[in-house]
Chains A and B, each alone.
Chain A
Amino acid sequence: MRVEDGRPWERPVPHGEGEYGTFFEGCAQGKLLVQDCPSCGKRQFYPRALCISCGLTPDWLEASGKGTVHTFTVVRQMRLEPFAGERPYVVAVIDLDEGVRMLGTLTGIDPDDVVIGLPVEAYARIYEEGRAIPYWRPVDQSS
């Protein structure tokens, strides 16, 4: 996925301990990493030290970055900056093609045009050296 520099970063900062760090480092390298269990096949996100299904150690799987909007909201009341200045903005739960879900901000679309089922793709925004988080935008129809 495409990687942008989001600094200076004024939003909450993920601490990135343990498996979280692996995920955010992957994002900075353009890779959207989810977990896939070699023992039971369970796929999961957010990343953890164990498979939540069988308890063993999962592998990492590089996801395609593609998904659809499962549900969303348009935030219109928010006092905290920089979010306040970005209203109205869209936060969505995305169904990744790989079968897991992620929460993320959806950009590049008028909030009134967002619908459940909208095809979207991830891009990464760097928040500190070597680490980024995924954002989402509608799939580019021309690509």
Chain B
Amino acid sequence: MWHRGRLMAEPRRRAVIAGIGLSDYPIAPHLTATQHHVQAMQRALEDCGLPKEEIDGYCCAGSGSWGILDSAPFMAEYLGIDYRFLDGTFTGGSSYEHHLQHACAAIGAGLCDTVLITYGSDQLSKSGTAIDLGASARVEGALQVEAPYGLPLAGAYAMAARRHMHEYGTTSEQLAAIAVGVREFAAMNPYARYRNPISVEDVLSSRLVADPLHLLDCCVVTDGGGALVVTTEERARDLRHAGVHILATAGAQTHWIISQMPDYTDTAARGCATEMFRQTGLKRSDIDVLQLYDSFTITVLLLLEGLGFCDRGEGGPFVAEGHTAPGGSLPLNTDGGGLSSSHPGMRGIFLAIEAVRQLRGDAGVAQVPNAATALIAGSGGYLSGIATAILARPEVIG
């Protein structure tokens, strides 16, 4: 059948998110990374009421820090998943939006019926808050042309912020407004790492990490994990919650390592959004809530512009006007995001989980009234790999 000009899978093979689960966060010394995967999975299965043995597809990006040891086949064995479809796509934080795209495609094509997606990380409890590479490392591959210079992860993002300020006059105050708004939502999340309100002045007076980014322009470091159960709309009718529809997905990268970024003020989000809005026929104004990767304030600003919610160069004034804060027209990161709530290394799965919570009407104090359509955008690497999805309540399909 055709929906707004785009062929969709037959109704009985349309993929929905039927179950969501979060493991203990933000500080969980009692859990290994693997135990985060497990706890999140158990909670997601409990959330939807699906028996574990029905899972016949699995997506896992590992933790990004163990090499292959917690990759998809290792975790499929640990969790006891007999898969007909397996995806180990790793693009850093945006891996999970790629997983949603692949789960939809696999289910639609009949490769499997029910896909489990899991993530787990004990980054904070295991390694503390210092996340950069060891200085004595011998480096192979492309990173060897960057690693000797001691650029911290924040430094890559700082260079993008610097260039955006140069080209468009974006200010530190405008970047800070992003952190302030997300912190307001964190205050509504009892599990968020930091919940006390902050002001623009607080952000600007927090210590500089890599100019022009201050400490409060950077995400928190936590433990945490998540799980999604994706199945057919038909199957979901017999589960505990009405499935949240995945209307469109897209993923692309403009580069991987930071020195290869073609335009420091733009990302692959632009092409992803064009593709998704073309597929669905929706307009930006149809989106009720945003969950955007917020590793740093500049990440959010570039995504807002790239996704087309404001013009290029207008992201600063846009956020300063409060559109993305509680009560604004485009509430952003309603769980407190990576900037204030949780960031265990890769947080793309949390974007989907929080979007589903909003679309179910289960977000409590943080609920966006009548939220029916959500856009999630993951960013991985160094503003490199972007993957996105538009999620919606069933009635949006019509």
Residues of A within 8 A of B (CB): 10-17, 20, 23, 45-46, 70-83, 86, 89, 91-93, 101-105, 111, 116, 127, 133
Q: How far, in whole Å, are A104 and B149 apart by their CA atoms in the complex?
A: 6
Interface residue ranges of B117-166 to A (CB < 8 Å): 130, 132-140, 142, 144-152, 154-155, 158-160, 162-163, 166
The answer to whether A80 and B134 touch (CB under 8 A), given A73-B159, A75-B152, A103-B259, is yes
Residue of A nearest to B147 (CB): A12
User: Provided the pairs A11-B135, A71-B264, A103-B258 are in contact, do residues A91 and B211 lie with their beta carbons within 8 angstroms?
Assistant: no
- B159 lies within 8 A of A77 (CB): no
CB neighbours (8 Å) of A76 from chain B are 207-211
Closest to B211 in A: A74
For residue B128, which residue of chain A has the nearest CB?
A79
Q: Is the interface of B mostly helix, strand, loop or mixed?
A: mixed
- Mask for B258-286, Cβ within 8 A of A = 1, else 0? 11100010000000000000000000000
Q: What are 11 inter-chain pairs, A to B, with CB distance below 8 A? A: A12-B137, A14-B145, A15-B138, A71-B163, A73-B162, A73-B210, A78-B152, A82-B135, A91-B159, A101-B259, A103-B149
- Which A-chain residue is minimally distant from B138 (CB atoms)? A13
Q: In the complex, what distance in Å separates the CA atom of A82 from the CA atom of B212?
A: 22
Q: Report the separation of the CA atoms of residues A23 and B166 in the bound assembly, to the nearest whole angstrom.
A: 32
Alpha-carbon distance A74/B150, docked complex (angstroms) = 11
User: B166 contacts which chain A residues (CB < 8 A)?
Assistant: 71, 116
Chain B positions within 8 Å of A81 at CB level: 135
If A73-B210, A76-B211, A116-B166 touch, whether A11 touches B148 (CB-CB below 8 Å) is: yes
A44: nearest chain-B partner, CB-CB: B260
Cα A57 to Cα B26 in complex, Å, equals: 49
Interface string of B240-263 (1 = CB under 8 A from A): 000000000000000000111000
Provide the bound-state CA to CA distance between A77 and B260, in Å.
24
Q: B162 contacts which of A16, A72, A80, A102 (Cβ < 8 Å)?
A: A72
- Write the residues of chain B forming the contact surface with A, with a CB cutoff of 8 angstroms: 130, 132-140, 142, 144-152, 154-155, 158-160, 162-163, 166, 207-213, 215, 258-260, 264
Name the CB-closest residue of A to B133. Answer: A12
Provided the pairs A13-B137, A13-B139, A75-B155 are in contact, do residues A133 and B148 lie with their beta carbons within 8 angstroms? Answer: yes
B209 touches A77 (CB 8 A): yes
Q: Select B148's contact among A12, A23, A77, beta carbons within 8 Å.
A: A12
A111 to B160, CA, bound (A): 17
- Cα distance A76–B155 when bound, in Å? 10
Max count, chain B CB within 10 A of own CB: residue among A82, A93, A105: A93
The one of A46, A75, A77 in contact with B145, judged by C-beta atoms closer than 8 angstroms, is A46
Q: In the complex, which residues of chain B have a beta carbon less than 8 angstroms from the beta carbon of A10?
A: 135-136
Residues on A with beta carbons closer than 8 Å to the beta carbon of B260 = 46, 101
Q: How far is the CA of A101 from the CA of B134 in the complex (A)?
A: 25
B155 lies within 8 A of A91 (CB): yes
Give the distance to chain B from A138, nearest Cβ to Cβ, in Å: 17
11 further A-B contacts with Cβ under 8 Å, apart from A73-B155, A102-B259, are A10-B136, A14-B144, A46-B142, A71-B163, A76-B209, A77-B152, A77-B207, A79-B130, A80-B133, A80-B150, A103-B151
List 7 tightest A-B contacts by C-beta distance, closest first.
Answer: A83-B150, A14-B144, A103-B259, A73-B158, A12-B147, A71-B163, A74-B211
State A15–B138 Cα separation when bound (angstroms): 6
Instruction: Please name all residues of chain B whose beta carbon is closer than 8 Å to the beta carbon of A83 when the two chains form the complex.
Output: 135, 150
Assuming the contacts A78-B132, A80-B135, asked whether A103 and B211 have C-beta atoms less than 8 A apart, the reply is no
Distance (Å) between the CB of B216 and the closest chain A CB? 13
Interface centre among B149, B152, B163 (most CB of A within 10 A): B149
Of B135, B160, B208, the most chain A CB neighbours within 10 A belong to B135
**How far is A21 from B152 in the complex, measured between Cα atoms in Å?**
24
A residues in contact with B144, CB < 8 Å:
12, 14-16, 20
Q: Which residue from chain B places its CB closest to the CB of A87 in the assembled complex?
A: B150
C-alpha gap A23/B160 in the complex (Å): 27
